[in-house]
């Protein structure tokens, strides 16, 4: 029998955990790494490029591209992101903002 996932409980748990500053910092770092990996994979796939071809364009190995796309890589540097953008013919946009405030209820 297939078990139905109850995301409400997970979201409640996550909301509670994110109240802890240490957990929140780690969670946000992981979320950013996963987001960047997803964006790289999505654009590379949309362009029909293999990891090997992207690696060739960046002057690195296919294994390095696999690490970037794993979602577990946390060592993104500006230089690396610039190489990724160039290899994908994309524009790299870097921005620093104040966190969005939640509206008062």
Model confidence pLDDT, tens digit, residues 33-57: 899 999 999 999 999 999 999 999 9
C-alpha–C-alpha distance, residues 44 and 41, integer Å: 5
12-88: CATH class: mainly alpha
* Phi, psi (deg, nearest 5) at residue 45: -65, -40
What pLDDT, in 10s, does the model give residues 52-91?
999 999 999 999 999 999 988 878 899 999 999 999 999 9
User: How far apart, in whole angstroms, are the C-alpha atoms of residue 105 and residue 92?
Assistant: 36
């Amino acid at each position: 029998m297939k078990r139905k996932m109850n995301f409400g409980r997970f979201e409640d748990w996550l909301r509670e955990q994110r109240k802890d500053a240490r957990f929140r910092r780690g969670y946000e770092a992981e979320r950013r790494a996963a987001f960047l990996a997803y964006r790289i994979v999505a654009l590379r796939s949309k362009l029909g490029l293999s990891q090997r071809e992207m690696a060739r364009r960046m002057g690195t190995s296919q294994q390095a591209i696999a690490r970037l796309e794993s979602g577990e890589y946390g060592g993104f540097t500006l230089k690396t992101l610039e190489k990724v953008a160039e290899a994908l013919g994309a524009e790299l946009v870097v921005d620093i903002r104040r966190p969005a405030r939640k509206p008062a209820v």
